[in-house]
Amino acid sequence: MKIILADDHQLILDGLLSVLKKQFSTSKIKGVLNKTELFQLLRAEHFDILIQDLKFGTDNAKDFLDDIRKEFPELKIIILSTVSDGVTIKHLSKKIDGYILKSESLDEIITAVNKVRVGQKYYSQMAEKKMSQLIPDGNIILTRREREVLAVIMKEKSIKQIAKELYISEKTVELHRSNLFVKFDVKNVIGLVKKTIALNILEE
C-alpha cells in the first residue's frame, strides 16, 4: 500500500508521517506541502490513498478534487481537516472516501485508512454527527413562490433585483427569504446557499 499525505504545515505533516510509518511499517508513505508537489508526485508514482488537508496553503482542495478524481480514478481520498461544517462534508461526500476532523484522535486516521483500503467509506464520529444535524431533503417543503425566490437568491441577486425579476414587492421578497431561513435553519443568505447546494434542493 502506498499513501500520500498532503498538508501545508510541516509539523503536522512530519507528525502524521511518523505515526503512519509506525502503524503501516510495510507501506510506502510520502508527504507533500503544496498542490504543485502533490500533482507532481501523483503523476510520478502510483498511490493507493491520499490523505488531504482541505485548506491547503493558498489552495482549497475543494477546487481540485474533481481534477484528482478525473486523472486518478482509482485513488482513495480521505479528507483530514479543521473544517467541521456539515454542509461542506455532505457536499464533498460524493467525491471522497472518508472525512476526519483534525480535532479527533489519531486512531480515527488509522481506522479510516484500514476501511478505505478495502473499498469501504469512512466518516469519523464527529463528521457523521455534523452531517446528521442537517435537515433531510424530505423535511423541507417549499411553496412555488419560495422556490422561485430561492432560485434567484442562488444567482446572487439583491432583494431589489429579486423583486424586479419576480414582479413582487421588496417586502414580499424579505418575507419569503425569512421563511426560507426558518425552513433551512440558517441565519443568513450564505448559510441558505450552502444548504441548498448540499441538499440539492433545486435539482429535484
**Residue 101 or residue 201, greater confidence:** 101
Q: Give the 3-state secondary structure of residue 58.
A: coil
Give the CATH architecture of domain 2-132. Answer: 3-Layer(aba) Sandwich (3.40)
H/E element, 5: strand 2-6
Q: Give the integer Cα–Cα distance in Å for 69 and 55.
A: 18
Q: What is the pTM of this model?
A: 0.69
Provide the CATH number for the domain formed by 137-203 in this structure. 1.10.10.10
The C-alpha R_g of the chain, in whole angstroms, comes to 20
How do the domains of the chain map onto residue ranges?
Answer: 2-132, 137-203
CA distances from 107 to 9, 67, 77, 103 (A): 20, 29, 17, 12
CB 148 within 8 A of CB 101: no
- Please give the grid coordinates belonging to residue 169: 414587492
Q: What are the respective helix, strand and coil percentages of the chain, to the nearest 5? A: 55, 15, 30
- Which pLDDT tens digit goes with each residue over 52-66? 999 898 888 988 999
140-196 per-position pLDDT tens digit: 778 888 889 999 999 989 999 999 999 999 999 999 999 898 888 888 999 999 888
